[in-house]
Amino acid sequence: MKKVTSASSIVTINHYRNLLQSEGIDAFLKNENLGSIVGEIPFPEVWPELWVRNDLDYDRAKQLIDTDKLIEESPGENWKCGKCGEENEGQFAACWSCGKPA
Ligand SMILES: [Zn+2]
């Protein structure tokens, strides 16, 4: 068993677990009930933790979560539509004007 990551929010850690499980990785949580005892912002020591049961899944699990973090934290740079030339904000996956995918 190996710890993959921890998060201050049970919602976040649940999201990661679902992500791994949808990829067929056997993942489970630790500390999932402790955070609420301490308060709204738990100490890192008692943050909910995400573990994989099989050490061989660790690298892939880590990669999946890192990719997910990147997507959530950086909406990306503005991009210019190749079809109509409109400027689009990074979080849009398709041109707002003509619908062409980025
Ligand atoms: Zn366009």
Q: Where are the domains of the chain?
A: 2-73
- How far apart are the CA of 89 and the centre of ligand 1, in A? 12
User: Is residue 38 pLDDT above 70, yes or no?
Assistant: no
The amino acid present at 60, given as its one-letter code, is R
Cα separations (Å) of 30 from 39, 55, 77?
17, 16, 36
- The pTM of this model reads 0.63
- How far apart are the CA of 80 and the centre of ligand 1, in A? 8
- How far apart are the CA of 92 and the centre of ligand 1, in A? 11
DSSP class of 6 = E
Distance CA 67, CA 27 (A): 17
* Consecutive H or E run containing 87: strand 87-88
The domain made up of 2-73 is a member of CATH 3.30.70: yes
Distance CA 76, CA 57 (A): 29
User: Is residue 24 pLDDT above 80, yes or no?
Assistant: yes
pLDDT at residue 37 in the model: 52
Confidence of residue 32 (pLDDT cuts 50, 70, 90): confident
- Considering 6-10, 21-25, 31-35, 97-101, the range whose residues carry the highest mean pLDDT is 21-25
pLDDT digits (tens, 9 = 90+) for 46-98: 788 999 999 999 999 999 999 888 766 666 788 899 999 999 888 788 899 99
pLDDT at residue 77 in the model: 80
User: Is residue 45 pLDDT above 90, yes or no?
Assistant: no
- Please check whether residue 29 is in contact with residue 5, taking contact to mean a CB–CB distance below 8 angstroms: no
